[in-house]
Amino acid sequence: MNSGTRSRIPSFIREAVEEDLRTGRFNYVRTRLPPEPNGYLHIGHCKAFLIDYFTAQEFGGELYLRFDDTNPTKEETEFVEAIKEDAAWLGIRWVKETYASDYFDLLYEWAVKLVKMGLAYVDDQSQAELSASRGTLPKGTKWKETEPNIRPGVESPWRNRSVEENLDLLERMKNGEFPEGSRVLRAKIDMNHPNLLMRDPVMYRIMHVPHHRTGTKWHIYPTYDWSHGQNDAMEGITHSLCSEEYRIHRPLYEWFIEKLGVFPSRQIEFSRLNLTYAMMSKRKLRKLVEKGIVRGWDDPRLTTLRGLRRRGVPPEAIIEFVTNLGETKNDSWVDMAQFEAVIRDVLNKTALRRMAVLRPLKLVIDNYPDDLVEEMDALNNPEDPTAGTRKVPFSKVLYIEQDDFREVPSPKYYRLYPGNEVRLRYAYLVKCTHAVKDENGNVVEVHATYDPATRGGDAPDGRKVKATLHWVSAAHALPVEVRLYEQLFTVERPDDTEDLDSIINPNSLQVLYPSYAEASLSEAKVGDRFQFERVGYFCLDPDSTDGKLVFNRTVTLKDSWAKVEKSLQT
RNA sequence: UGGGGCGUGGUGCAAUGGCAGCACACCAGACUUUGGAUCUGUGGAUCUUGGUUCGAAUCCAGGCGCCCCAGCCA
């Protein structure tokens, strides 16, 4: 890959940072990851994480991990730990772990300062009143000529209270003297501002809710707008990188910096990652888990980091995928196939090869000695000479893939069929003689003869065969469970649908048992990734026991025969 | 539309006034002890209309389309 020569951060961000360093706006670089601990990390978060991480890294700067825990009704310590674990697994390193709640005291002081400057006030309006007085946007996408598309805001009757009264009220809000929803602290900006966010945004709301870190100390909690930017300033964050949806918050971000006269962090936006067939909404993800549609947050069909990890996706593939996308401000939808291509690419270079027969069919080599067992030499990874070789036992009775035999071959089928000779990988050339069927006419056993002169797979007379099959010796085979995954959803953009049941792919999980794997796999450890030759990439699942190994299919190999076969059918 | 953001092959990006290129996908072929991998090749794009310029994806003006904002969520 080209990570050595290409920058991993988007050019427009790098240019902005370079400019800031050149002009002296900053003489160092510090970025931050600002996850809210209210759910598990998914592939969509990786983009922001990696941009923050690599931006700091490229400029010799630092990365802070700051949990945005300003809403105690949604946040839990459990998620803090999970996020740290997942981010570390991805390969992200931070120099400092902080919390928005670390700054509640200082932040309150800053709020008092704004009140004293006459730039913030306590508003006694109800939530409904406040919402109504903010003005409106056109309903829906259609705008009626007869209506103004936007109504100006209306100033609150409490907007011009005295500083003393505001200070007193704010203090008492903090002390928990008022019920939830009865009052808020608002910045005094401009109720007719074209940007709705500037129409006296809420800074503090009353919540009599214990916080996962500050306990019952606080009865007011800051909003995102009144916390995030201030935390950036307090931590000396130079570049606050975030997704496009925060673009409209920037004027407010800058307003606070200006009025407070604090460290001038620069917010830069980029577009978020949209991946087809991936569910990114935390709310809907939770629903999938709670309804039991998936087995948990780490279900391999989910694009949560935990799910991807369990599925067998290496972190390097995620990094490669995300950084190769490049970055713009465009709304974009990345094809899942592109992600899978990167996964294959990484796994092809790193995964050890093994043989496993998913849907077994017995193959008997009639002219092979009954009790003979030969140890065949097999390459661990043809792409990596340093991966070495292993021994694979071969005997008279084998399993091959059901798909690898046809009693009546279709055109272009050149695997096993009566009269045809194929290669058993790393073993012998074998020629099919006949098939044995049960009373229903199903093939239950295939017979063949081998050519003893072809040990290893090459014929001394130079004759060629078109197919090479993977196989497992029946007497040595390990019965294993194999879980095959397809897209969880039947639609490309599952987040657009509210009725989840209507878009679930009923075939998203297929469990195969017994499949037969070569004996060497008994030494595999949970999380180990393999390529089952000619089939796909697999990862050993934590559900595995000593008696039964469980493998998850990460991705298939490209199957050009499937394509040919499909085109023959149509 | 009040404000903001964005428009380049099917998808994601590049080209920063000078031959529109790359990756994924697709199609065709070569090679092959994985019908894998690898390699080669074909097709296909600058939202639109005008303007500036020797020359425009790029600069200017208008139009069109998509996305975001009316949480005391982040």
Residues of chain A within CATH 3.40.50.620 domain(s) are 11-270
d(CA A498, CA A503): 9
Q: What nucleotide is nearest A536 when CA is compared to C1'?
A: B36
d(CA A396, CA A373): 8
Q: What nucleotide is nearest A410 when CA is compared to C1'?
A: B35
A415 touches strand B (CB under 7 A): yes
Residues of chain A within CATH 1.10.1160.10 domain(s) are 273-350+479-517+524-570
pLDDT classification of A563: cutoffs 50, 70, 90: confident
Question: Following DSSP, what letter does each residue of A99-117 receive, concatenated?
Answer: EGGGGHHHHHHHHHHHHHT
Q: What is the mean pLDDT of residues A282-294?
A: 94
Q: What is the pLDDT of residue A135?
A: 86
Contact present, A67 and A227 (Cβ < 8 Å) = no
pLDDT beyond 70 at A141: no
Contact present, A391 and A354 (Cβ < 8 Å) = no
Q: What nucleotide is nearest A250 when CA is compared to C1'?
A: B4
Distance A259 CA to B63 C1' (A): 40
Q: What is the pLDDT of residue A9?
A: 67
Q: What nucleotide is nearest A454 when CA is compared to C1'?
A: B33
d(CA A50, CA A9): 8
Complex ipTM:
0.95
Q: What is the pLDDT of residue A136?
A: 75
Q: What is the pLDDT of residue A237?
A: 98
Distance A322 CA to B49 C1' (A): 38
CB-contacted nucleotides of strand B (7 Å): 1-8, 10-16, 23-28, 33-38, 66-74
Q: What is the mean pLDDT of residues A338-342?
A: 97
A468 touches strand B (CB under 7 A): yes
Q: What nucleotide is nearest A328 when CA is compared to C1'?
A: B13
pLDDT per residue over A201-235, tens digit each? 999 999 999 999 999 999 999 999 999 999 999 99
Q: What nucleotide is nearest A406 when CA is compared to C1'?
A: B35
Residues of chain A within CATH 2.40.240.10 domain(s) are 355-477
Q: What nucleotide is nearest A567 when CA is compared to C1'?
A: B27
A449 touches strand B (CB under 7 A): no
pLDDT per residue over A439-453, tens digit each? 999 999 999 999 999
The answer to whether the predicted template modeling score (pTM) of the entire model surpasses 0.90 is yes
Q: What is the pLDDT of residue A53?
A: 95
Distance A202 CA to B51 C1' (A): 47
Distance A360 CA to B3 C1' (A): 64
A458 touches strand B (CB under 7 A): yes
pLDDT per residue over A47-71, tens digit each? 999 999 999 999 999 999 999 999 9
Q: What is the pLDDT of residue A503?
A: 95
Q: What is the pLDDT of residue A139?
A: 46
- Nearest CA to A95 out of A14, A36, A31 is that of A31
A206 touches strand B (CB under 7 A): yes
pLDDT beyond 50 at A355: yes
Please give residues of chain A from 230 to 249 whose alpha-adjacent beta carbon (CB) lies under 7 Å from any atom of strand B. 244-249
Q: What is the mean pLDDT of residues A166-191?
A: 98
A328 touches strand B (CB under 7 A): yes
pLDDT beyond 60 at A140: no
Sheet holding A62-67: strands in order across? A30-33, A62-67, A96-99
Please give residues of chain A from 471 to 530 whose alpha-adjacent beta carbon (CB) lies under 7 Å from any atom of strand B. none
Q: What is the mean pLDDT of residues A457-480?
A: 96
A202 touches strand B (CB under 7 A): yes
| Residue corresponding to tokens 């496993």 | A356
Superfamily of domain A355-477: Ribosomal Protein L25; Chain P (2.40.240.10)
pLDDT beyond 90 at A21: yes
A153 touches strand B (CB under 7 A): no
CB atoms within 10 A of CB A93: 11
Tell me, what DSSP letter sits at residue A4?
A: T
Give the percent of chain A with pLDDT over 90: 90
Please state which of the ranges A13-17, A143-147, A425-429, A467-471 shows the lowest mean pLDDT.
A143-147
Please give residues of chain A from 280 to 319 whose alpha-adjacent beta carbon (CB) lies under 7 Å from any atom of strand B. none
Q: What is the pLDDT of residue A1?
A: 31
Q: What is the mean pLDDT of residues A506-518?
A: 97
Distance A382 CA to B34 C1' (A): 10
pLDDT beyond 80 at A148: no
d(CA A428, CA A411): 25
Cα pseudo-dihedral A522, A526, A531, A534, rounded to 10: 70
Please give residues of chain A from 166 to 195 whose alpha-adjacent beta carbon (CB) lies under 7 Å from any atom of strand B. 180-184, 194-195
Distance A330 CA to B20 C1' (A): 19
pLDDT per residue over A368-393, tens digit each? 999 999 999 999 999 998 999 999 99
Q: What is the mean pLDDT of residues A262-266?
A: 97
Q: What is the mean pLDDT of residues A341-350?
A: 97
pLDDT beyond 90 at A320: yes
Fold (topology level) of A273-350+479-517+524-570: Glutamyl-tRNA Synthetase; domain 2 (1.10.1160)
pLDDT classification of A75: cutoffs 50, 70, 90: confident
Quote the mean pLDDT of chain A.
94
A74 touches strand B (CB under 7 A): yes
Active site residues of A: 36, 272, 282
pLDDT beyond 80 at A2: no
pLDDT beyond 50 at A5: no
Q: What is the mean pLDDT of residues A275-289?
A: 94
A78 touches strand B (CB under 7 A): no
Q: Which CATH architecture has domain A11-270?
A: 3-Layer(aba) Sandwich (3.40)
Q: What is the pLDDT of residue A143?
A: 42
Cα dist. A415→A237, A362, A403, A408, A411 in Å?
62, 15, 9, 11, 11
> Is A15 exposed, middle or buried, given 0-12, 13-18 or 19+ CB atoms closer than 10 A?
exposed
SS3 of A209-271: the string is CCECCCECCCCEEECHHHHHHHHHHHCCCCEEEEEHHHHHHHHHHHHHHHHHCCCCCEEEEEC
pLDDT beyond 80 at A138: no
